[in-house]
Amino acid sequence: MSLTIPFDNSYARLPDTFFARQAPVPVRAPHLVAFNEELAQILRVTPGEVEDMAQTFAGNTLPEGAEPIAQLYSGHQFGTYNPQLGDGRAVLLGETVGTDGVRRDIQLKGSGQTPFSRRGDGRAWLGPVLREYVVSEAMHALGIPTTRALAAVETGEIVLREGPMPGAVLTRVAQSHLRVGTFQVFAGRRQVDNLKKLTEYAIARHYPQADGPMGLLRAVRDAQAQLISQWMSVGFIHGVMNTDNSSIAGETIDYGPCAFMDSYHPNTVYSSIDRMGRYAYSNQPDIAVWNLAQLATSLIQQVEDPESAVEEATEIVHAMPGLIQQHWLTRFRAKIGLTTEDEGDEALITDLLTRMAHNNADFTNTFRALGRDNARDQFLTPQAFDEWAKGWTERLTREQNPQAVMNAANPAFIPRNHRVEQMIQAAVQGDYEPFHRLNTVLARPYEDQPEAADLTHPPTENEVVHATFCGT
Catalytic center residues: 244
Smaller CB separation from Mg ion, 67 or 244: 244
* Contact pick of 121, 222, 351, 463 for ligand AMP (by CB under 6 A): 121
Question: Taking CB within 5 to 8 Å according to partner kind, which of Mg ion, ligand AMP, none is near residue 143?
Answer: none
* Binding status of residue 132 toward ligand AMP by CB under 6 A: no
The strand ranges marked E within 161-287 are 164-174, 236-237, 259-260
The neighbouring-strand residues paired with 108 are 91, 171
Residues contacting residue 424 through CB under 8 Å, at least 6 positions apart: 126, 127, 130, 131
**Residues 6/41, Cβ–Cβ less than 8 Å:** no
Q: Which residue is nearest to ligand AMP (CB)?
A: 120
Residues contacting residue 350 through CB under 8 Å, at least 6 positions apart: none
Q: What's the min distance (Å) between Cβ of 271 and ligand AMP?
A: 10
Integer CA distances (angstroms), 198 to 68, 206, 252, 305, 395, in order: 19, 12, 21, 19, 49
Smaller CB separation from Mg ion, 238 or 368: 238
Q: How far apart are CA 171 and CA 151, in angstroms?
A: 5
Smaller CB separation from ligand AMP, 179 or 327: 179
Q: Which residue is nearest to Mg ion (CB)?
A: 254
* Contact pick of 123, 131, 148, 333 for ligand AMP (by CB under 6 A): 123
* Contact pick of 59, 68, 122, 166 for ligand AMP (by CB under 6 A): 122
Q: How far apart are CA 350 and CA 102, in angstroms?
A: 38
Q: How far apart are CA 249 and CA 396, in angstroms?
A: 37
Element (H, E) at 321: helix 320-335
Contact track, ligand AMP, 212-241, x by CB under 6 A: ----------------------------x-
Per DSSP, the residues of 193-220 read HHHHHHHHHHHHHH-TT--HHHHHHHHH
Question: Taking CB within 5 to 8 Å according to partner kind, which of Mg ion, ligand AMP, none is near residue 85?
Answer: ligand AMP
Smaller CB separation from ligand AMP, 250 or 458: 250
Q: What's the min distance (Å) between Cβ of 290 and ligand AMP?
A: 16
Element (H, E) at 148: strand 148-160
Q: What's the min distance (Å) between Cβ of 92 and ligand AMP?
A: 12
* Binding status of residue 84 toward ligand AMP by CB under 6 A: no
Site for Mg ion in 236-265 (CB under 5 A): 244-245, 254
* Contact pick of 15, 79, 83, 120 for ligand AMP (by CB under 6 A): 120
- Stretch of 4-12, 87-95, 206-214, 356-364 lying at the interface with ligand AMP (CB under 6 A): 87-95
Site for ligand AMP in 242-301 (CB under 6 A): 244-245, 254, 256
Angle in degrees, 0-180, between the axes of helices 320-335 and 345-358, rounded to the nearest 10: 70
What does the buried/exposed string (b/e) look like for 269-283 if buried means 16 or more CB atoms within 10 Å of the residue's CB?
bbbebbeeebbbbeb
Q: How far apart are CA 228 and CA 321, in angstroms?
A: 11
Q: Which residues are near Mg ion by CB under 5 A? A: 244-245, 254
Q: Which residues are near ligand AMP by CB under 6 A? A: 85-89, 116-117, 120-123, 240, 244-245, 254, 256, 470, 472
